[in-house]
């Protein structure tokens, strides 16, 4: 809350206030990055599980086309 933060910050010097705010924002940023990383991993797992294996006939036809191009 605002009142509490003023109570904590007011007795501090300007330099100390900067240090406190740096620590606060740094910890917030680390927490946010951790949450984003977890979300990305979660998202990646979902995406991997929903990828369908290639259909056999499509795979086969692309192989033939490549072989024809090479010969």
Domain count, the chain: 1
Domain that holds residue 59: 2-70
The stretch 21-44 carries a mean pLDDT of 89
Angle at CA of residue 37, ends 26 and 19, nearest 5°: 0
Helices (H), the chain: 2-9, 14-50, 56-70
pLDDT at 47: 72
pLDDT at 69: 65
The pTM score is 0.44
Mean of pLDDT over the chain: 75
Q: Residue 52: helix, strand or coil by DSSP? A: coil
pLDDT at 25: 92
Q: Among candidates 29, 24, 31, 30, which has minimal Cα distance to 5?
A: 24
With 60 as the cut, is the pLDDT of residue 2 above it? yes
The larger pLDDT score, comparing residue 6 to residue 51, is at 6
């Amino acid at each position: 809350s605002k009142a509490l933060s003023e109570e904590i910050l007011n007795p501090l010097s300007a330099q100390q206030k900067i240090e406190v705010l740096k620590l606060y924002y740094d910890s917030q940023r680390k927490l946010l990055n951790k949450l984003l990383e977890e979300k990305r991993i979660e998202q990646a797992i979902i995406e991997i599980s929903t990828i369908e294996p290639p259909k056999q006939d499509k795979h086969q036809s692309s192989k033939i086309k490549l072989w024809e191009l090479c010969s």
